[in-house]
A and B are shown apart, each in its own frame.
Chain A
């Protein structure tokens, strides 16, 4: 384990940003989001959860995929560049780090989504272990250790000191570039980190959702859950907005749309939500007629459909953003609880 030798995080940030674009949690208009670091930005490493998760950096809410020039009978396709500057994202929590695995299973599966792939290739993920989990957190339910995130590099902050450990080759290489700012941590220090981690885990065990049970969500019981009468009760108040979807680190449904700029067509993709009534609507009909079905789809996908295709990996990382943000206080934790009762 390494430690950062200065107590000024800005020293580290300016060193990183001298090499690569650096994204950190910054406060913008009163809310914390991942933004490009600069001296003038208000960095909020203390914030537990950014409103939008870190997926925005790899799968942005909107991105142009290609362009078309139309002239007479002809169409010319403008394909975007195949290169991208490397970037660093600092301060990713364990839940978000896990979400990249969930997204990778979708976007990096054949045929590979090159837009996502390029961003993943370019991005170095530096995680920050949690120190102050809150009542909406339940990452432990999905086997995630908030104090031992995935990612290229993991950091812990204990008593104002930043500890650092590279976890991947990419992380090692990048750590090497920052060697002048890093030193080996002492055994006592490592013990302090471990002690803090234990304390945090103890807190997590006390949180209201710590004991949610998800073992019952297995593929063989898919139709049983699908036909559960509980859905009728759970969906009732759902507004059909996309808040849960858009703050979710693992939701990855998207729409592809064309925009006529007046000088050509831009084809872009943007986040979409299976909660939206338009999502599956076709000229000829609508397979998911009511909000109940749309509501069910989202949770069935996260708890059953996705795991069935991905060796039991749930498409929920327990970050609790939906718990905090749902306008009507309905969320996946309540769904797990209600369905689990059966």
Chain B
């Protein structure tokens, strides 16, 4: 006798076709991917992730920087840093990859964030996961209060989505973008300095909800800066990155305390993180 199931399994990916590749910075490319028939691969919420794989090369978890409102394609901004990402960077439009998702939780854009002033802080490639929130909020502009985006990178060339952030976002009412780079550079007349200092300089009122993503060192100092300004940890959200395999809270790799970053995260509030063992 045979038993049967329906093979609807999150381990099994979908085929995605890379339609377009945009060189964002010297080491970051944005890949626009959709299904072979041109439809979206799946629905997602801001902050959620997907596993992209080239079979035989590897599979990796990437956040989805495009807005759920974009029904044409899904974007992934990927920094070249290892075997899989190098492979992805060497790809050409028209090639296939496999995609699994959506994975993990998302920013509470449909409840907690509603009506709030939002401060988005990003550093380097850390802007990718929060971009989706910004795009989502810009598409539902009336639901949210003032939006500030603080973003820093090493140099002007390393600012991902520079054109979009400097030209398009500020056009939206009540939306402000503050860009900074680490060191003085020709052709840059904006602020210079590290993100944590810049955030303190900007001296935001503390009635905002903060979304933050970037390198660990930036997170550490920016958080401290926000605390100095009078923010509470309950106001600050971040997304985490750990080694992941299954993406669905089973394989055990991203387990911290009772949480699985791939399933219960990647979005956490800092007060939640405080309750977890410091193994991230």
Q: A and B: direct contact (Cβ < 8 Å)?
A: yes
User: What chain B residues lie within 8 Å of A256 (beta carbons)?
Assistant: 11, 59, 245-246, 251
How many whole Å from A107's CB to the nearest CB in chain B?
Answer: 6
Residues of the A chain whose Cβ atoms lie less than 8 Å from the Cβ of B96: 73-75
Interface window among A8-16, A82-90, A132-140: A82-90
User: Is B4 close to A, CB under 8 A?
Assistant: yes
- Are B7 and A79 in contact, CB atoms less than 8 angstroms apart? yes
Smallest beta-carbon distance A57→chain B, Å: 14
B interface size (C-beta, 8 A): 46
Scan residues 52-95 of chain A and give those whose CB is less than 8 A from a CB of chain B.
65-66, 68, 70, 73-75, 77, 79-80, 82-86
Whether B82 contacts A283 by the Cβ 8 Å rule is yes
Instruction: Report the nearest B residue to A283, measured CB to CB.
Output: B82
Question: Cβ of A85: which chain B residues have Cβ within 8 Å of it?
Answer: 1-2
A226 at the interface (CB under 8 A from B): yes
- With A111-B9, A253-B253 known to touch, is A86 a contact of B279 (CB < 8 Å)? no
Q: Which of A66, A80, A122, A226 contacts B3 (CB 8 A)?
A: A122
Mark contacts of B84-111 with chain A using CB atoms, 8 A cut-off: 1 yes-contact digit, 0 otherwise: 0000000010111110000000000000
How long is the Cα–Cα vector from A260 to B13 in the complex, in angstroms?
Answer: 18
Is B81 interfacial (CB-CB < 8 Å)? Answer: yes
Contacts of A287 in B (CB 8 A): 242-243, 256, 279-280
B249 to chain A, nearest CB (A): 8
Chain A minimum-CB-distance residue to B58: A258
- Residues of A with C-beta under 8 A to B3: 83-84, 86, 118, 121-122
List A contacts of B275 (CB < 8 A): 223
Q: Is the beta-carbon distance between A272 and B252 smaller than 8 angstroms?
A: yes
B26 at the interface (CB under 8 A from A): no
Q: Produce 1/0 per residue, B1-23, CB < 8 A to A.
A: 11111111111110100000000
Residues of B within 8 A of A23 (CB): none
Asked if B255 is an interface residue, CB under 8 A from chain A, the answer is yes
Whether B255 and A297, one on each chain, are in contact in the complex, defined by CB atoms closer than 8 angstroms, is yes
B142 on the interface (CB 8 Å rule)?
no
Contacts between the two chains (Cβ within 8 Å), count: 144
Chain A residue with the shortest CB-CB distance to B5: A118
A31 at the interface (CB under 8 A from B): no
| Nearest CB on A from B89, distance (A) | 15
- Which among A152-160, A186-194, A208-216, A274-282 touches the partner chain? A274-282
Q: Is the CB of A301 within 8 A of B10?
A: no
User: Closest approach, in angstroms, between the C-beta of A113 and any C-beta of chain B?
Assistant: 6
**Contact, CB under 8 Å: B250 / A107:** yes
Decide: A254 and B252 in contact? CB cutoff 8 A.
Answer: yes
Q: Is A183 an interface position by the 8 A CB rule?
A: no
Task: Provide the bound-state CA to CA distance between A284 and B2, in Å.
Answer: 46
Q: Provided the pairs A82-B7, A265-B56 are in contact, do residues A113 and B2 lie with their beta carbons within 8 angstroms?
A: no
Q: A82-B4, A82-B6 are in contact. Are A254 and B246 (CB under 8 A)?
A: yes
- Chain B residue nearest in CB terms to A118: B5
Which residues of A99-147 are within 8 A (CB) of B?
106-107, 109, 111-115, 117-118, 121-122
- Contact partners of A6 in chain B: CB under 8 A: none
Let me know if A280 and B243 touch, CB within 8 A.
yes
In the complex, A50 has a CB within 8 A of chain B: no
Q: Is the Cβ of A114 less than 8 Å from the Cβ of B7? A: yes
Which residues of the other chain, A, contact B97 by a CB distance below 8 angstroms?
Answer: 75
Contact B95 A73 (CB under 8 A): yes
B95 to chain A: which residues have CB within 8 Å?
73
CA distance A252 to B11 in the complex (A): 16
Contact partner, B258, options A68, A75, A253, A305, Cβ 8 Å: A305
* B112–chain A nearest beta-carbon distance, Å: 23
A267 at interface by CB-CB < 8 Å: yes
How far apart are B56's CB and chain A's nearest CB, in angstroms? 4
Asked if A309 lies at the interface with its beta carbon under 8 angstroms from chain B, I say yes
A288 close to chain B: CB less than 8 A: yes
* Bound CA span A293–B280, Å: 12
- Contact B245 A255, beta carbon cutoff 8 Å: yes
Contact at A114–B9, with CB atoms within 8 Å? yes
Interface set, chain B 1-54, CB cutoff 8 A to A: 1-13, 15
| Complex: A267 Cα to B98 Cα, angstroms | 12
Output the least CB separation between A232 and chain B (Å). 15
A106 touches B250 (CB 8 A): yes
B13→A20 contact, CB < 8 A? no
**Is B257 in contact with chain A by the CB < 8 A criterion?**
yes
Distance A280 CA – B12 CA, assembled complex (angstroms): 22
Instruction: Give the distance to chain B from A175, nearest Cβ to Cβ, in Å.
Output: 15
- Give the docked Cα–Cα distance between A107 and B252 (Å): 12
Give, as a whole number of angstroms, the nearest-CB distance from A210 to chain B: 29
Query: A203 an interface residue at 8 Å Cβ cutoff?
Result: no
**B205 interface residue per 8 A CB criterion:** no
A residues 212-270 near B (Cβ < 8 Å) are 219, 222-223, 226, 252-256, 258, 260, 265, 267, 269
B5, A68: Cβ atoms under 8 Å?
Answer: no
18 contacts between A and B (CB under 8 A): A65-B11, A73-B92, A80-B7, A86-B1, A113-B11, A114-B7, A114-B9, A222-B258, A256-B59, A256-B245, A256-B251, A260-B56, A265-B56, A269-B251, A274-B255, A287-B280, A288-B279, A308-B257
| Known A113-B250, A114-B7; 10 more pairs at CB < 8 Å | A79-B7, A82-B7, A84-B4, A111-B9, A111-B248, A113-B248, A121-B5, A252-B252, A256-B59, A284-B81
User: Closest 10 interchain pairs by CB?
Assistant: A253-B252, A68-B55, A265-B55, A308-B258, A114-B9, A122-B3, A75-B96, A265-B56, A111-B10, A121-B3
Interface residues of chain B, those whose CB is within 8 Å of chain A, are: 1-13, 15, 55-59, 81-82, 92, 94-98, 242-243, 245-246, 248-258, 275, 277, 279-280
